[in-house]
Amino acid sequence: MKNIYLNNPDQDVFIDGPTDEELKRIEEELDKYSD
């Protein structure tokens, strides 16, 4: 599996992960659905 990520031009996505804004949005959506 590692080879796929190493050869992927978008590997920054895997390294950096979601931004703070994305995390906030995801948390809000989870709160919405968890009620």
User: What is the average pLDDT value for the chain, to the nearest integer?
Assistant: 73
pLDDT score of 6: 61
SS3 content of the chain, % helix, strand, coil (to 5): 75, 0, 25
Work out the angle at residue 24's Cα, subtended by the Cα atoms of residues 26 and 30, and round it to the nearest 5 degrees: 35
Confidence band (pLDDT; 50, 70, 90) for 19?
confident
pLDDT score of 35: 73
Domains in the chain: boundaries: 2-34
Q: Is the pLDDT of residue 26 over 80?
A: yes
First-residue to last-residue Cα distance in the chain:
36
Q: Check if the beta carbon of residue 18 is closer than 8 Å to that of residue 26.
A: yes
Q: Is the pLDDT of residue 32 over 60?
A: yes
